[in-house]
Chain A
Amino acid sequence: MSKMHVKMTVNGKEVEALAEPRTLLIHFLREDLKITGPHIGCETSHCGACTVDIDGKSVKSCTVFVAQANGADVTTVEGLVNEDGTLGVIQEMFREHHGLQCGFCTPGMITRAHRLLQENPTPSEEEVRFGMAGNLCRCTGYQNIVKSILAAADHLNAQKEAAE
């Protein structure tokens, strides 16, 4: 199959490449761009370990062809660090509240949490659990992930208030 020219923005940088249309976005990110934070945990679109942000939406990048993402603006967990390279607030809260163990679901969890908190800056525990339901975790039992996200919401809201 012939390759196509793809162009997209990933973590703020323009990238261009030749790729087969059938290439899944997760493979394009990991294998062509060497952005290996997003992971592959299943082949049935359930686990959410491959979650990235595409044009302001949380998307499972295992269920998007690179052809469909041509022209898109993509953010992965690597793009969620602070400008100086230190951990972003959500990342820092996952560390502080032990929201990860093996770390395999974590990039997808954090990227999803990022979008969830953009849409609902003051979620209840129930809203966090429902809002994270597309992301499976084998290690934590979710409790500390919920704590991490609620703590991140508090920090982000405090930052916003301080800035106003």
Chain B
Amino acid sequence: MIPAGFEYHRPADVASAISILKQHGDEARVVAGGHSLIPMMKLRMADLAHLVDLQDIGEMKGIQVGADTAVLGAMVTQHEMITHEGLAAAIPLIREAALQIADPQVRYVGTVGGNVANGDPGNDMPGLMQCLDAQFELAGADGSRTVAARDFYEAAYFTARDDEEILTRIHIPVPSAGTGYAYEKQKRKIGDYATAASAVLITMDGGTCASASIAMTNLADTPIWAEAAAAALVGTSLDEAARAAAVAAAIDVIDPVSDNRGPVDFKKHVAGVILRRAIDRAASRAS
């Protein structure tokens, strides 16, 4: 419950935040909503001498929805994503998923940037961003660079972000009109990380699946973009054979571990069930 002491910083812009990170190296960490970091600090699993609070950095806030791309500041909260009507109209998958994350209090403060940068495979947004083919903008001392969500995750708590970089913005392609979507999550209770979860986007042309994207959450030490599973749907009528092939392909690329949520075989079974449900719901919404 009691975190160790630290020096507190509240910079007003990204450049100042990065210079504090550079000055203190791995002694320093940024805090966004604080709802993953502070619990770890209270358990003394995270140890740092300098805490860099990003709450005053205006350039990391706000939601802009354009015709082709939505841009989310990394400090946008789950609550803001849920209540933003423009975002919900353009990318309804985000609201559906965000409502399955944590609980109201946590959603008021937990941010999208913290969720995707945290690196915990239990987080829901990473798989969602892979499904949507989002791009993460990282600012560092030498300027900024962009990394695809599909290339960002290396292992549990290891990402492509360098210690002295800050994830500032997320760029998400707006799916074409009529794209079916679903985020299906099996969990033990409100606020739990997924036993298995799946994000699905499907477009249909007549009775045929024209394109698909599938990502799986908390079924490996990173989110999994299941390219072969999506490919198994494309060009089909989403008949039983195609759905079974997609499920088989997805189960083939996940690598769950046994824990309190169940043994490996159970998780693979649940992964198949939730993926089927996600495909069905996405298909029912595609037009």
Q: Which residues of A contact B (CB under 8 A)?
A: 1-2, 4, 20-22, 24, 40, 43-46, 48, 51, 57-60, 62-65, 67-68, 70, 112, 116, 131-134
Bound CA span A134–B53, Å: 24
Q: Which residues of B contact A (CB under 8 A)?
A: 1, 3-8, 10, 31, 34-35, 38-39, 42-43, 51, 53, 55, 79, 102-106, 108-109, 190-191
Closest chain-A Cβ to B192's Cβ sits at a distance in Å of 10
Closest chain-A Cβ to B109's Cβ sits at a distance in Å of 6
For chains A and B in complex, what number of residue pairs have CB atoms within 8 angstroms? Answer: 83
CB distance A63 to B104 under 8 Å?
no
CB distance B105 to A1 under 8 Å?
no
Q: Chain A residue with minimal CB distance to B192?
A: A46
CB distance B104 to A131 under 8 Å?
yes
Instruction: Return chain A residues, CB-CB under 8 Å to B55.
Output: 68
Given contacts A1-B7, A22-B3, A65-B38, contact A57 B109 (CB under 8 A): yes
Where chain A touches its partner, the secondary structure class is loop
Instruction: Return chain B residues, CB-CB under 8 Å to A62.
Output: 1, 42
CB distance A22 to B6 under 8 Å?
yes
CB distance B108 to A65 under 8 Å?
no
Given A48-B103, A68-B31, 15 more pairs with CB closer than 8 A: A22-B3, A40-B1, A43-B39, A48-B105, A51-B105, A57-B108, A57-B109, A59-B105, A59-B109, A62-B42, A63-B39, A63-B109, A64-B109, A68-B53, A134-B190
CB distance A133 to B104 under 8 Å?
yes
Bound CA span A112–B105, Å: 8
Q: Chain B residue with minimal CB distance to A61?
A: B105
Instruction: Return chain A residues, CB-CB under 8 Å to B105.
Output: 48, 51, 58-60, 112, 134
